[in-house]
A and B are shown apart, each in its own frame.
Chain A
């Protein structure tokens, strides 16, 4: 029986329960339950929890406790953030919860909140060699973490919660231009001291309301709703103006905006915009579930369990995450890694002749590692299932477009060649199609060279001549590689097409 853990994040706007199953250094979220409570509104108005708010806290936690009991959760951590830090009667609420449910609430500081969010982000962003700012925009506060080359340099906590400043500056009506301007000045002042690093490569926002704003972007751009999203600044500036000109009710009707967050969306947007301007960024990333995932990882770490991506010998986060995804779908690891190694050998020798860049390798690497994951659904048409699973699974270190390209490369590792009339291939740009053809051509050959799944081919030499491409397969003289050569013959079709040359195969023992 796998370990089941749960965390509850009690924020100003909502309470979230996340239940995870833990297996071999990987946690899979098996339940994500949310209730919008808006308990922060009262706190930021009157400075404490009202009796109704305390009743709400207990009722919501009661429902969450039922879910936890039934999912056989053996370890949990319940965390209270800004409203619990700020409410003068927080102890009263904590005691009431203890008496009713025997739950201990751990009220964490703003900097601890920032650290936990950063912890989660390390599992989703490759931070090597980069200067990155993580910003968690909550209802009651905003936390900033500056990270250089994967190391946490400094954290700041500011009282810039989107619920809090909405209450203070806007009240319950359409925002007036002078109110917006006053709030902008206040945000600027509050963030003035938090400049640890004047140059940034990447800025990542977390928090439900900013995530919801990013969802407006993904919906308007017809992108998938992934955990990590990228939003460009030009769009965001336009969105801020749009929000400022609308009443709460009108904002709630905008596609993608959650009605329950419509009132606080402008305040959150202004915080984001200020930081984008301050650091002159072209765009930003959002990352959902940051704090919850951070608490989960922290809880597991406290139990002596390290995540795969935290292992010191696993420096390459992207690679570790790809293997983690493969394992999730029970892939045949030795075959997948062997095909990846063969793909790399071909890529290194042929990429210049194919007009590919070195930076295209991570796309082929991901597709090679994951090309057979579709077998988890079924053997028949497994290349199409691989396409689906890759396209719908979060791939750390890759953008949405890159994931689509990777899924296509894996899609064409067997059977028919790419055709524009196929929806998946037709939806790509010319440049992406070109990459898919060339990289899947390499993958097909590499897969053919491990047709028996026995890892008999040790190396490959690719010699490009005017009259053809010579592929020499290196194997132990005692080993029969007939099957692999037959596999190569069968799957060399696309490589011949992209090179527009015949491929001649041979062996070197």
Chain B
């Protein structure tokens, strides 16, 4: 059986980490794990860029990592940066300098992809994860730069966001406040995050479980040394009462923590205590999987996201609900759109990603109405491109936004800025998908599922037979008006005929 070694480098806000794993079939062997503390986030979160001194230190660490990779004979590696580099204004310089001087080519991880990888990693490592999601789960990845939250209920993702409330970031933010008062400031600041998140949720929604992950868990493990995967509120409150007014020196001496760990202790404890308030529970469970390890599993293809498609669809539906769109109509139009997409595969020659883009466009095609009817296309475009959906990268969401724009645009709406940087192939894909979306929408124009199904006959022209129990007046009328983009893009005539069932 073929054995494969993979190296993962993660440049975080407070440390550089490297994981080296060996994979053979289903088995995995951890060969090495290195952590080199370097708080580039301290620079980024206070002055907005990474100082030259830290750029040089980072290069030295990467040189060591490069040697380690060579030692293991690894040529295939992935080196990814998160918020500490992502948010630095001199990101390009940092990437260029470190590459030139260490030979390691770093990439910056898109926030939505970061959330997704962390999410699927934990999903695969925590038993009964689906049941937790069904019953209401707050999944919190608390790290140095950010807190990423996914709130799921009945397998619908109700909230997904990366919030700038990481422990190191907060520590830097309040560094000038005396340690006697600092805990109060952090408490209030974290409360603001909780209030902002809760405000986006329906008050009726109840989630019962909190699952923690991220670099904060290492600190929890050092503090409490739990045998299982649970930390209780009592444990956190007890230690919080003891340490909240301690200075950094007192913290390191009292708890035996390293200085870098001690400095982020208060923000970490406060974040978990307040996250527990969302679920109104007295404990939280956690995953011991580190981010580099998760990335190693992900990039070696060991993590399978088996429910990705249905989860994305459920998430899209919950977003449509938030913007008061008719979700029954959206589901029905989606059914027709998928059927057209599959039947017309020879005509459009588009792949699976395009099918997902079409699904997102169709389900969200009306969201802009919530802002105003006047610029439906532009409003929907803005909302869709700004979404964060784990499993759908930002490029796919931008394409979905463009499909909705193309299908709904009116003469007075200006073309979105991003259109200028789209390739002609991308524009053609957008037109193809928008053409399919428009004829699919027409089939449920009355929002009444009046057309129960369709049969498609393809010859010189396409004939769509609509099965209905009575004449689908509005749908026939609309289809005729909406098919122009389809006909112009595919160069094929298309006609809708009704097949009335009198049973």
Contact = CB atoms under 8 A, between A and B. Distances in A.
Contacts of B199: 330-332, 375
Interface in B459-483: 473-474, 477
A62 B199 CA distance: 41
A454 interface: yes
Contacts of B446: 63, 66-67, 69-70
Contacts of B185: 482-483, 486
Given A32-B373, A379-B161, A225 B200 contact: no
A393 interface: yes
Contacts of B181: 480, 482
B136 interface: no
A389 B372 CA distance: 10
Interface string B438-460: 00000001111010000000000
A452 to B, nearest CB: 3
Nearest to B373: A32
Contacts of B448: 66, 69-70
Contacts of B188: 451-452, 454, 483
A453 B442 CA distance: 46
B195 interface: yes
A66 B379 contact: no
Given A378-B388, A379-B161, A451-B192, A480 B184 contact: yes
A227 B371 CA distance: 13
A28 B161 contact: no
Given A377-B383, A379-B161, A392-B379, A63 B474 contact: yes
Contacts of A377: 382-383, 386
Contacts of A452: 188-189, 191-192
Nearest to A375: B196
Given A377-B383, A379-B196, A480-B184, A66 B450 contact: yes
B177 A486 contact: yes
A105 to B, nearest CB: 20
Given A28-B324, A378-B386, A451 B369 contact: no
Given A330-B199, A392-B378, A452-B191, A71 B161 contact: no
A179 B473 CA distance: 43
Contacts of B388: 378, 380
B174 interface: yes
B263 interface: no
B177 A29 contact: no
Nearest to A71: B447
Interface string B98-132: 00000000000001000000000000000000000
Contact of B447 (A28, A70, A388): A70
Contact of A389 (B111, B196, B371): B371
B326 interface: yes
B203 to A, nearest CB: 11
Interface string B275-317: 0000000000000000000000000000000000000000000
A224 B192 CA distance: 35
A456 B432 CA distance: 55
Interface string B159-185: 001110000000001101100010011
A392 B371 contact: yes
A85 interface: no
Interface in A2-27: 21
Interface string A445-480: 000000111100000000000000000000000001
B372 A67 contact: no
Interface in A395-410: none
Contacts of A328: 370
A452 B369 CA distance: 33
A21 B417 CA distance: 33
Contacts of B378: 392
Contacts of A218: 412
Contacts of A29: 373
A226 B373 CA distance: 10
Nearest to A223: B412
Contact of B474 (A67, A226, A332, A486): A67
Nearest to B174: A486
B387 interface: yes
Interface string B385-421: 0111000000000000000000000001000010000
Contacts of B243: none
A215 B412 contact: yes
A71 B324 CA distance: 12
Most buried by A among B181, B197, B370, B379: B370
B28 interface: no
B92 interface: no
B223 to A, nearest CB: 26
Interface residues of B, number: 47
B324 A380 contact: no
Interface in B316-359: 324, 326, 329
Given A71-B326, A225-B412, A483 B386 contact: no
A30 B199 CA distance: 23
B257 interface: no
B189 A483 contact: yes
A385 interface: yes
A483 B189 CA distance: 8
A388 B326 CA distance: 24
A394 interface: yes
Nearest to B375: A392
B374 interface: yes
Contact of A482 (B163, B177, B192, B374): B177
Contacts of A423: 417
A278 interface: no
B369 A482 contact: no
Contacts of A482: 177, 181, 184-185
B59 to A, nearest CB: 29
Contacts of A59: 473
Contacts of A381: 386
Given A30-B369, A375-B200, A482-B181, A226 B447 contact: no
Nearest to B379: A392
Contact of B387 (A66, A378, A480, A489): A378
Q: Which of B188, B191, B324 has the most CB of A within 10 A?
A: B188
B161 to A, nearest CB: 5
A452 B174 CA distance: 13
A35 B110 CA distance: 46
A501 interface: no
Contacts of A62: 473
Given A227-B374, A392-B372, A483-B189, A379 B163 contact: yes
B161 A378 contact: yes
B205 to A, nearest CB: 13
Nearest to B446: A66
Interface in A31-82: 32, 59, 62-63, 66-67, 69-71
12 contacts: A69-B446, A69-B448, A71-B326, A71-B447, A219-B412, A226-B374, A380-B162, A380-B163, A385-B382, A392-B375, A452-B188, A454-B188
Given A380-B111, A482-B185, 9 more contacts: A32-B373, A215-B412, A224-B374, A331-B199, A375-B200, A393-B371, A453-B192, A453-B195, A490-B173
* Top 10 A-B pairs, shortest CB-CB distance: A452-B188, A70-B448, A70-B447, A66-B446, A483-B185, A483-B188, A63-B474, A225-B412, A482-B181, A453-B192
